[in-house]
Structure 1
Amino acid sequence: MTKDQLYNELNYVNATRECRAKYANIVLADSELVNPLIEILFMVNDKISTRAAWILEFACKENINLILPHLNYFVANLSKLQLDSAIRPCAKIIEIIIELNYKKHDPRILKYLNTEHKEQIIAVSFDWMINDEKVAVKAYSMATLYYLGTEFDWIHEELKLILQRDYSHQSSGFKARAKYVLKMLGVIVPKCHSKNN
């Protein structure tokens, strides 16, 4: 399948799990589709790019190896993403990679993930934390930064400051993940008695 054919196929993708899984299985069966899929994903002003992101996320959840040979391009372009529905799946893919690296010491990840990737991921994850992104993106970024902070010690202090600053005025979903991350960072979050709880 060519890039143009893949682009046309993505017109038929919708947000249902079944549909995303169906197209992810096509990519899983033919790893040659990963590169054009990522190229479409980074056509950042095109709404089809979000569909490419959905498919890539589903495929990576099944087999993270698919994206590893494309990590340079993928990570270098994350900061260009503009559409919320493309950022969320990419933030999840990054969380998976980082967790496999730091929590599981997965040799596949250790082979591909380098210091430059980590620095780019740190920058984009902090951007997603401080920008007006959806809660899921912030939640994935918190976890990503927590794990990266086990190697880059300055990250935990910055992450604490952001979480403590934003805690009282964010959604309950944000608060739940932030409370968990803050606890891992040794911070006890006081109960908030505001209307937003």
Structure 2
Amino acid sequence: MLSELQAKLDYVNAYRENRLMAAQYVLENQHLFGELVTICFSPEDKNNHKACWILEFVSYEELIWLQPHLDFLSSNLKVLKDESAIRPIAKVVQLLVKSHYKKNDDSILLSEENLQDCIEASFDWLINDVKVATKAYSIRTLYVLGNHYDWIHPELQMILNKDYGDHSAAYKAVAKEVLKKIEK
């Protein structure tokens, strides 16, 4: 018997409106959130990538819901292999890292281990063969992290300069923007 969430995910497709409707359903049924996170990091689940799409949209509204799931999420970043799952999770990682360093009442609190997992995954996504959106999210995430870990900016700078000529205009635009910030 399919769970309530699995039944919903079966009908999700790539259309933005469709993904937004599914995210709205989760936002209205918070009890489904833990299962959503679990499905995101279950690559063997046929709805894995769809769950990741939904998690991204839910995170824009209720990022704080991830707080109790951070150890699970960060330690499982490396299990993702499908580009359709990695791209939205790279965006969620970017949101988490930005929130962590914002330091206000609704900031996400990442442990040192969570941060290390985010650094490792972001560098992996940056240097491996993934689509440009994932790389762009990773570049921006690493830039933020590099403001707090002094070894990251030099590594990021080296990778961006080395790979600059091999990528699309979109990659070059993000790389140029971040390199300019690093070099200030």
Q: TM-score, normalised by structure 2?
A: 0.94
Structure number with larger C-alpha Rg: 1
- Please give the root-mean-square deviation of Cα atoms over the aligned residues, in Å: 1.5
* Contact 1:3/1:37 (<8 A) preserved: no
Partner residue, 1:109: 107
1:157 aligns with 2:154: yes
Count of paired positions: 184
What is the CA distance between 1:164 and its match in structure 2?
Answer: 0.4
> How far, CA to CA, are the matches of 1:145 and 1:161 in structure 2?
13
* Contact 1:138/1:174 (<8 A) preserved: yes
> How far, CA to CA, are the matches of 1:139 and 1:174 in structure 2?
6
- Structure 1 consecutive aligned stretches of length 4 or more whose deviation exceeds 3 Å: none
1:131 aligns with 2:118: no
Partner residue, 1:53: 52
- AA partner of residue 105 (structure 1): K
Partner residue, 2:34: 35
Q: Unmatched 5+ residue regions in structure 1?
A: 188-197
- AA partner of residue 93 (structure 2): I
Partner residue, 1:94: 93
Q: Unmatched 5+ residue regions in structure 2?
A: none
- AA partner of residue 115 (structure 1): E
Percent sequence identity is: 43
- AA partner of residue 163 (structure 1): L
Secondary structure of the residue aligned to 1:126 is: helix
What is the CA distance between 1:6 and its match in structure 2?
Answer: 1.2
- AA partner of residue 11 (structure 1): D
